[in-house]
Structure 1
Amino acid sequence: MKKKKQQYPEPTVGGLIISPKGRIFLMKSHKWEGYYVIPGGHIELGETFEQALRREIKEETGLTISDIRLICVQEFIFGKTYHKSNSHYIFFDFLCKSKTEKVHLNEEGHSPIWVTLKEALDLPLEPYTRKVVEKFRRMIR
C-alpha cells in the first residue's frame, strides 16, 4: 500500500506598506481575480518572517522597507477568489514603512496605487487584504 504524503499549510508573509505621505500601497494580482492586494509571498526554508517579508516586498515592488511589526495572522483554507482554490495558507501580515512611493513591479503585480486609508476601504480588496486594512484602521484610532 502506497503511503499518502502529508500536506501542511504553507506559511506566507504580507506587507501593508505605508509611505512617508501616510498612504497605503496596493496592487492588483492575477492570483486574486483582479482584487487589490498587499505584496507578499512564501517563507523559504531557513528564512525568518522579516527576511521573507523584505525579500518578497523587494522582489515584487522594488521597495526597501523598515519599521516592521506584526499586524495580524490569518488562515486561508480553500478560497474561491484565489487562483489555486485547493490551497491552505497561514498569512503573517505586517505593517511596514517605505521611504519612497516609487515602485518597480515584477510580473506578479499590476495597477499599483498609493491611497489613503479611506480610499483603500472603498476599493475592491481581496478579503484577507481588507482584514489587514481594517485592523490598521483600528490600530490608528
Structure 2
Amino acid sequence: MTHPKVGIGVIIRRRDGKILIGKRKGAHAPYYSIPGGHLELGETFEQTAIREAREETGLTIEDPRVLAITNNLRTYREEGKHYVSVVLLAEHQGEEPLNLEPDKCEGWIWVDPSALPQPHFDASEQSVASYLAGTHYLPAADA
C-alpha cells in the first residue's frame, strides 16, 4: 500500500435510536463494525453507502448524508492498511437485516450507539464517536 484508500461506512439508525452493527469475520475479524466497504471508481459517497447496505444487509436505505470523516491509523498500525473513511448516516424503518455475506460477517444486531460491542473496528468506533459527539471529525487520541 503506497497511499491511503477511501472507505465508506454507514450508520443505519432505527426510529428507537439503535444502530446496526455486524461482527466481522475474515477481513477485520474479530471486530464489530457498521456496514461499509470501498468507494468504487465513479461512485458518489451516497451511492456506495446505499450499495454496501443492500449488499451486506439486504436493507434499502434512502437519502444517506455525510456525517463524518475518519483517519484510520489504528488499522494502519495493526494491519498495514491505511484508510480514510467517509461516514454517512441513514434512517431506517427497522425491518430486520439479512446476513447476505456470511463469509464476511457473522450477523447483524441493533445496538445502543453508546454501548458498542467490543472489540470494535477502528473506523466504525471513530464514526460512532463522531456521531455521538455531534462533530464531523475527532482527532485520534493515540496518533
What interval of TM-score do these two structures reach, taking the shorter chain for normalisation? 0.7 to 0.9
- How far 1:136 sits from its partner (Å)? 1.5
Report the residue type matching 1:59 in the other structure.
E
- How far 1:59 sits from its partner (Å)? 0.2
Report the residue type matching 1:136 in the other structure.
Y
RMSD: 2.1
| Runs of 4+ residues deviating >3 angstroms | none
Does residue 1:137 correspond to 2:132, yes or no? Answer: yes
- How far 1:135 sits from its partner (Å)? 1.4
- How far 1:54 sits from its partner (Å)? 0.5
- Structure 2 unaligned residues grouped into runs of 5+: 136-143
Question: How many equivalent pairs are there?
Answer: 130
- Give the TM-score of the pair, scaled to structure 2: 0.79
Match of 1:20 among 15, 37, 40: 15
C-alpha distance in 1 between matches for 2:48 and 2:4: 17
Higher mean alpha-carbon deviation, 26-35 vs 48-57, is at 26-35
Does residue 1:38 correspond to 2:37, yes or no? Answer: no
Residue number in structure 1 paired with 2:77: 79
Distance 1:23 1:44, change over 3 A: same
Would you say the 8 A contact 2:72–2:84 is kept in 1? yes
C-alpha distance in 1 between matches for 2:83 and 2:32: 18
Would you say the 8 A contact 2:61–2:90 is kept in 1? yes
C-alpha distance in 2 between matches for 1:90 and 1:52: 15
Distance 1:12 1:66, change over 3 A: same
Residue number in structure 1 paired with 2:64: 68
Would you say the 8 A contact 2:6–2:84 is kept in 1? yes
Would you say the 8 A contact 1:101–1:114 is kept in 2? no
- Give the TM-score of the pair, scaled to structure 1: 0.80
